[in-house]
């Protein structure tokens, strides 16, 4: 009896200590995701300088970003399934090390065809990274903390973009664009090794559930396609991403061409919108963990708000009012992403969170494929800022409707 009591007495402190390691998991995932976004943003910063040595025309500047996006979308689902089979720790380690080696190789490129091929390969090997992060965070953080955890984690996208724009011009003055890719390639490999050393697939004690977590087993893909909640979330997220990615692709040009703003003034509005994400994402996640109601209800409110603020923004013609509205638009553009990402593990089979996220993320990324084309067609035909923003608003409005079929129990605030 004494031995039993002794084992019980020591188990509690060990569990508490292990539980605190979830913040190390979050920090490492955030660091890795920041570097992933830094790499994805790098081309937009170096493109003009690099185009001279590669021999690109102005029309070809975006071709490398498109090539990587194609590879990334293609491997979202396979990458997520790989994370389920071998575990998030190994999947993200392999993904980052391979991506780092290919990033380094891209610095040697002086040929368009080779550059496209390498960027496609970078996209292909990166398909497992975000799914792996999602799987790891869902394993280490209980449902009542996932909003907060994902809200902090997703700030990596904003930090990565800001860091790229702040650091790369200075680096290019010393290293040229090739040197930037050499440096980022080495950093990516190093962070991949750090992930391998510090990440753990599962906590010693399950964070609030009795989920089965062993890698392997059935892939569960057929079950995903029958999961009404997951499919509804994927479809609704596509509508929301339609508006976000369409706005990010066209926002500057719409304000310049329709309102006659200078490129600098339009850029300032976009900076305010994007900077809002750093504060908005953790706030939304924190509140979602503490407010009554389901994630579905919270998402419907944010998606409806997003549609309304887009319409309002499209009606404004005064620059000072645009600046005032920019943070409010930032809440719409970025706020829902915390909930869509953190809700996937709630709707998925715990063993197959990686594949489920890959399925959902594939749908979401399609918004970025089709929205810019639709907005461009409408604006070219009408020249109307309001109609262009109206096309964007259709996405989150449909998102509200597509969330209706979801069935979940109401969460009780702690």
Q: Which of 19-23, 68-72, 307-311, 314-318 has the highest mean pLDDT?
A: 307-311
Given pLDDT bands bounded at 50, 70 and 90, which one contains residue 373? confident
Same fold, 14-198 and 221-403: yes
For residues 272, 273, 278, 281, the Cα torsion angle rounded to the nearest 10 degrees is 150
Each residue of 107-120: b (16+ CB within 10 Å) or e?
A: bebeeeeebbbbbb
What is the predicted pLDDT for the residue at 409?
60
C-alpha span between 225 and 318 (Å, rounded): 47
DSSP string of 305-362, one letter each residue: HHHHHHHHHHH---HHHHHHHHHHHHHHHHHHHHHHHHHHHHHS-GGGHHHHHHHHHH
More confident residue, 398 or 213: 398
Q: How many CB atoms lie within 10 A of CB 85?
A: 16
Domain residue limits, the chain: 14-198, 221-403
Question: What Rg value do the Cα atoms of the chain yield, rounded?
Answer: 22
Contact between 92 and 195 under an 8 Å Cβ cutoff? The reply is yes
Domain 221-403 superfamily per CATH: MFS general substrate transporter like domains (1.20.1250.20)
Q: Is the pLDDT of residue 13 over 60?
A: no
Contact between 359 and 220 under an 8 Å Cβ cutoff? The reply is no
DSSP state of 225: H
Average the pLDDT over 12-40 and give the result.
79
What is the predicted pLDDT for the residue at 206?
60
Q: Is the pLDDT of residue 220 over 70?
A: no
The C-alpha angle with vertex 330 and arms to 332 and 236, in degrees rounded to 5, equals 30
For residues 49, 53, 58, 64, the Cα torsion angle rounded to the nearest 10 degrees is -90
What is the predicted pLDDT for the residue at 402?
95
Given pLDDT bands bounded at 50, 70 and 90, which one contains residue 58? low
Contact between 54 and 106 under an 8 Å Cβ cutoff? The reply is no
What is Dmax (Cα atoms) for the chain?
Answer: 81
More confident residue, 411 or 199: 199
What is the predicted pLDDT for the residue at 371?
86
Q: Which two tokens stand for residue 163?
A: 């860091």
Q: Is the pLDDT of residue 40 over 50?
A: yes
Average the pLDDT over 21-30 and give the result.
95
Comparing 37-41, 53-57, 404-408, the range with the smallest average pLDDT is 53-57
CA proximity to 80, closest of 44, 160, 134:
134
C-alpha span between 213 and 139 (Å, rounded): 8
CA atoms in the 13 A half-sphere facing the CB of 353: 29
Average the pLDDT over 264-268 and give the result.
84
Given pLDDT bands bounded at 50, 70 and 90, which one contains residue 396? very high
More confident residue, 41 or 296: 296
List, for residues 314-355, the tens digit of each pLDDT value. Answer: 999 999 999 999 999 999 999 999 999 999 988 888 888 888
Number of residues that make up the chain: 414
CA proximity to 124, closest of 154, 82, 156:
82
What is the predicted pLDDT for the residue at 293?
77
C-alpha span between 6 and 390 (Å, rounded): 66
More confident residue, 248 or 36: 36
Given pLDDT bands bounded at 50, 70 and 90, which one contains residue 6? very low
Q: Which two tokens stand for residue 40?
A: 């994805």
Q: What CATH number belongs to 14-198?
A: 1.20.1250.20
25, containing H or E segment: helix 22-54
């Amino acid at each position: 009896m004494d031995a039993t009591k002794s084992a019980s007495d020591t188990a509690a402190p060990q569990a508490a200590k292990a539980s605190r390691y979830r913040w190390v998991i979050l920090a490492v995932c955030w660091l890795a995701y920041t570097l992933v976004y830094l790499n994805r943003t790098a081309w937009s910063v170096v493109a003009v300088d690099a185009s001279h040595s590669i021999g690109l025309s102005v029309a070809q500047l975006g071709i490398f970003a498109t090539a990587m996006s194609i590879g990334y979308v293609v491997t979202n689902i396979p990458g997520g399934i790989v994370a389920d089979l071998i575990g998030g720790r190994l999947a993200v380690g392999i993904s980052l090390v391979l991506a780092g080696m290919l990033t380094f190789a891209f610095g040697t490129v002086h040929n368009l065809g080779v550059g496209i091929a390498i960027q496609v390969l970078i996209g292909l090997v990166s398909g497992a990274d975000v799914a792996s992060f999602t799987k790891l965070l869902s394993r280490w953080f209980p449902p009542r903390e996932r909003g907060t955890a994902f809200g902090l984690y997703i700030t990596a996208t904003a930090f990565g973009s800001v860091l790229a724009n702040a650091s790369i011009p200075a680096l290019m003055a010393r290293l040229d664009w090739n040197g930037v890719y050499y440096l980022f390639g080495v950093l990516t490999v190093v962070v991949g090794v750090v992930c391998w050393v510090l990440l753990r697939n599962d906590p010693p004690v399950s964070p609030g559930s009795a989920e089965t977590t062993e890698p392997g087993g059935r892939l569960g893909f057929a079950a995903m396609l029958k999961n009404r909640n997951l499919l509804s979330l994927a479809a609704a997220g596509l509508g929301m991403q339609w508006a976000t990615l369409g706005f990010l692709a066209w926002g500057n040009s719409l304000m310049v061409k329709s309102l006659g703003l200078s490129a600098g003034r339009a850029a300032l509005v976009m900076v305010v919108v994007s900077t809002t994400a750093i504060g908005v994402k953790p706030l939304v996640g924190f509140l979602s963990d503490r407010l009554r109601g389901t994630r579905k209800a919270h998402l419907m409110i944010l998606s409806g708000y997003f549609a309304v603020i887009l319409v309002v923004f499209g009606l404004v013609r005064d620059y000072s009012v645009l600046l005032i509205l920019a943070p409010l638009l930032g809440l719409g553009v970025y706020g829902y992403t915390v909930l869509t990402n953190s809700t996937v593990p709630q709707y998925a089979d715990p063993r197959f969170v990686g594949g489920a996220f890959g399925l959902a993320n594939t749908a979401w990324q399609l918004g970025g494929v089709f929205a810019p084309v639709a907005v461009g067609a409408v604006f070219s035909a009408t020249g109307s800022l309001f109609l262009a923003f109206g096309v964007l608003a259709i996405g989150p409005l449909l998102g509200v409707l597509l969330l209706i079929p979801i069935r979940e129990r109401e969460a009780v605030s702690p």
